[in-house]
Structure 1
Amino acid sequence: MRIDDPSLSWPLLTVDRAAIEHNIATVAQLYTGAGIGFAPHVKTHMSPGIYRRQAAAGTWGATVATPGQLREVVWWGKVGIRARVLLANELTDPRDAAWLRDALDSGDVEEVWVYADSAEGVALLERTFATAVYPERLGVLVEVGVLGGRTGVRSIAQVTALARRVTQAGLRLVGVAGYEGPVASGTSAAELEAVAGWCADLRAAAARIAGMADGDVVLSAGGSAHADVVLRELTRPLADPAGAPVPARVILRSGAYVAHDHGHYRRADPWTRLGVAPLRPALTVWAQVLSVPEPGWIICGAGRRDASSDIDLPVPLTVRAVDDAGRLGAPRDLPEGWGRVTALNDQHAYVQADPAVTAAVRPGDVAGLGISHPCTTFQLYRTAYLTDGDEIIEQLPLAFH
């Protein structure tokens, strides 16, 4: 089956198999070589087909962002994809807490870790898991945030107090966690230094509560934009306030790396700074050329409902002719950077190009668009198509709610 099969229609989201397998192998080898745990954030794709490939390359488990995603990933166990799961968020709904207790007791999932940043959240877990058959299958991470940021306690003193509250509640404390993203939106020297400072705070918090943790204290961070700084800083030897060594383990939660992109993550690119092979953009949104109404202006049938625009607008990559049967021809020989998307409507993209380029483009042609920020492109589709060239290797259902 090909991407121009008569049963399909544009716009279409494809995932290049060679690129995604390269990205998965590259990052898995890097983290394995560094001796750390890896729990890729599957909110990026919510695809059992993609996570199956990530798990085969070596993972501690899967990370999710919401209780709904947690339920979905636990359900993947029924189709042969069992995983430990880290809910990188607070669990504050009694319905979700009761469901999780029952899922752990029934063995639907072997282990789940959740965040806590409040006495109320800990009290909910205490009440719910007081009746658990296997309370040890739940792990609690105290989340460390930043002033003006999102969730997470704001000081090491608060970390210590909440960690003590977790253990007093009879819950299993495993360590500390957080997300470095609110500290820096770019990769300037000052921003990378700010991320390093946040990592130092996380290390200090881990050292302070290590004696309360069940086993080696866990330090967990995420993101695909500053993985180099996080990896370097969190794997430094850890010592308690008295200078004694503290056994620790690191679990990272990078997610967007799996598809990379043509914009935000290409610019951030911590992987090249780490000295590994560059990651490859894996996603293409294919959209039909609807109109070439004037020289230098192309209108394509893909918009905000079809491609991410929360960070950057899509990037025109190629244009291909279509024959009378709807089959794609070879890519046009166009100069690099031949066009620029200037705006999106719900389902239209405005592409500005040199008039000499638009003279060679016809309504009915198909344009390939690169994207920036894979998370908000995957979520726009129910199915993506894993491809080798134009051949579809696998249909990838995407379980977004």
Structure 2
Amino acid sequence: MLRIDDPTLTWPLLTLDEAALDHNIATVAGAFADAGVEHAPHVKTHMSREIWERQVAAGAWGATVATPAQLRTALGWGVPGAGRRAFLANELVDPRDIAWLRAVLSDGAGDRAADRTADEVWVYVDSARGVNLLAAGFAGAAPEVTARLGVLVELGVPGGRTGVRTVSDAVVLAVGVHDAGLRLVGVAGYEGPVAGGTSTEELDAVGRWCDDLRAVGAQIGGLVGGATVLSAGGSAFADVVTRHLTVPVQDAAGADVPTRVVLRSGAYVTHDHGHYLRADPWTRLGAEPLRPAITVWASVLSAPEPGLAICGMGRRDVSFDIDLPTPLVVRAADAAGRLGAPRELTGVRVTALNDQHAYLAIEPGDDGLLAPGDVVGFGISHPCTTLDKYRTGLMTRGDEVTEQIALDF
């Protein structure tokens, strides 16, 4: 059995705790099922077929992706069932990508191989130009092809990222989608720009944005053939979006508008020791706490002066866009490189990263705590920008490697 300290491996090393990963997948799947919402996990977090298969087995509706390249990759995994459905949570504006998508959605297309099929793909629009590009790309397509393309109007935030800025603009654009002969399925957006924390005021602001999303759904229901999709992210605010978006929707005449709530939470799958640990919407939703699954292991290279140690891990190896890594444990290595028992690290923190060096500050009196050749296990903040630095990850139980997984970034 391969171990993380096997002679064929070297530091820095990315490991994923299998028990934590499976716990997180099952916990969120259960929480969403209990809340009556569907889940299209954002696979940009990991871009791993092996992890996606576990999410499909837990009941995912389909894979959410961020870019056309990720869409090609996720459909190329060829995972049966939900693996044939995808949600591009972005605008599709390149005519080449639109032509490719039409081919993938077309029966008998010349370049449609068995592992590049799609039963349904949803995309955003946030402008008349975007609608026109999609309509031109699918002009003359057979009804069974256009039926596989779902279009959602994106509602944004003033000063935020993409998406129309008002409810009225979203409704006007939805009418444009319908009039262009495209299949309108609902309204969507990302609540992240609304709030940076979880204070009462910030959570209330997210709730108001969700209410605007519902207001759009109430006005466009008559243009949607079937239940109107209301979709949000949910990684940091799953409790708020679930509570607000599952409130029944009625149109101006007081008639019920059938809805489907589809959340796209992705970072939950590995959780972390920083940003998502602080946000933690899952315990607010009544679920069990999620468990951080990622550890990045790195050698102590030097202890050049009191209060300082340098590890062989840097910006090319670990996320740093939200928080610096968290030193968790240290393990001494014997003459053959075999790791000893872990010792918890307290009073040690990362103060800076270079390309491939981490600066660790050690509290006075703890000099000698870290010595060259020791191996430190680090927790991370923001899994999306850690996993993309690797091409493979090691699934582990303790020190044993149970599976080597590909990370298709």
For residue 288 of structure 1, what is the aligned residue in structure 2? 299
2:390 corresponds, among 381, 391, 395, to 381
- Which residue number in structure 1 is paired with residue 262 of structure 2? 251
Match of residue 181 from structure 1? 192
1:86 corresponding residue in structure 2: 87
Deviation at 1:360, TM superposition (A): 3.2
Amino acid at match of 1:312: D
Q: Distance in 2 between matches of 1:150 and 1:66?
A: 15
In structure 1, C-alpha distance between the alignment counterparts of 2:245 and 2:102, rounded to whole Å: 31
Q: Which residue of 2 aligns with 1:238?
A: 249
**Any residues of structure 2 matched to 1:272-351 within 5 Å, and which?**
272-332=283-343, 334=344, 337-351=346-360
Q: What does residue 23 of structure 1 align with?
A: 24
Whether 1:35 and 2:44 are equivalent positions in the alignment is no
Decide whether the 8 Å contact of 1:52 with 1:81 is kept in 2. no
Matches of residues 196-275 of structure 1 in structure 2 within 5 Å?
196-275=207-286
Match of 1:73 in 2: 74
Mapped pair 1:13 → 2:24: no
In structure 2, the CA distance between the partners of 1:81 and 1:177, relative to structure 1 (3 Å rule), is: closer
1:20-61 deviation line (CA, Å, top 9, x unaligned): 100000000011122211000000010111111011001110
Relative to structure 1, the CA distance from residue 80 to residue 8 in structure 2 (aligned partners, 3 Å threshold; closer, same or farther) is farther
Structure 1 position 241, deviation (Å): 1.9
Greater shift in the superposed pair: 280-289 or 356-365: 356-365
- C-alpha distance in 2, partners of 1:244/1:99? 40
Deviation of the 1:216 alpha carbon: 0.6
Shift of 1:294: 1.6
- SS in structure 2 of the partner of residue 330 of structure 1: coil
Which residue does the alignment assign to 1:354? 363
Q: Counterparts of 2:384 and 2:302 in 1: how far apart (Å)? A: 29
Please tell me whether residue 49 in structure 1 is matched to residue 58 in structure 2.
no
- 2:192 paired with 1:191: no
- Worse-superposed segment, 306-315 or 292-301: 292-301
1:82 Cα deviation after fit: 2.6
**What are structure 2's unaligned runs of at least 5 residues?**
none
Give the CA deviation at 1:223: 3.3
8 Å contact from structure 1 (residues 316, 339) kept in 2 = yes
**Residues 61 and 82 in structure 2, CA contact (< 8 A), matched pair in contact too:** no
Contact 1:48–1:81 (8 Å) recurs in 2: no
Answer yes or no: is 1:142 the counterpart of 2:153.
Answer: yes
- Find the residue that maps to 1:46 and give its secondary structure: coil
**Aligned residue identity for 2:264:** R
Aligned mate of 1:160, from 165, 171, 182: 171
Deviation, 1:399, is 0.9
Whether 1:131 and 2:140 are equivalent positions in the alignment is: yes
Specify the SS of the correspondent of 1:77: coil
The structural deviation recorded for 1:391 is 0.6
In 1, Cα distance between equivalents of 2:155 and 2:197: 21
Q: Which residue of 1 aligns with 2:120?
A: 111
Cα separation, 1, equivalents of 2:81 and 2:403: 17
Distance 1:151 1:159 in 2: 12
- Supply the distance in 2 between the matched residues of 1:78 and 1:312 (Cα, whole angstroms): 34
CA RMSD of superposed structures (Å): 1.3
Q: Which segment is superposed worse, 306-315 or 289-298?
A: 289-298
- Cα deviation per residue 1:68-113 (whole Å; 9 max; x = unaligned)? 1000001011799833100000000000000000011147111000
Displacement after TM superposition at 1:226 (Å): 0.7
Q: CA deviation at 1:383?
A: 0.8
Residues of 2 paired with 1:358 and 1:383: CA distance?
Answer: 35
The Cα shift of 1:154 comes to 1.2
Q: Quick check: 125-134 or 230-239, which moved more?
A: 125-134
Q: Any runs of at least 4 consecutive aligned residues in structure 1 with deviations exceeding 6 A, and if so which? A: 78-81
Question: CA-to-partner distance for each residue in 1:306-359, whole Å, 9 max, x for gaps?
Answer: 110000000000110111111111112x4x533100000011000111244331
The total of aligned residue pairs comes to 398
Question: In the TM superposition, what is the alpha-carbon distance from 1:227 to its structure 2 partner?
Answer: 0.7
Q: Which amino acid aligns with 2:174?
A: A
TM-score normalized by the length of structure 2: 0.95
Matched residues in 1 for 2:22 and 2:206: separation? Answer: 29
The answer to whether the 8 A contact 2:45-2:387 is kept is: yes
By how many angstroms is 1:369 displaced? 0.5
Which ranges of structure 1 fall in alignment gaps of 5 or more residues?
Answer: none
Letter in 1 for 2:92: L
Q: Is the 8 A contact 1:16 1:283 kept in 2?
A: yes
Q: Please say if residues 299 and 311 of structure 2, whose CA atoms lie closer than 8 Å, have aligned partners that are also in contact.
A: yes
Task: Tell me, in whole angstroms, the C-alpha distance in 2 between the residues paired with 1:243 and 1:65.
Answer: 36
CA shift, 1:243, in A, is 1.9
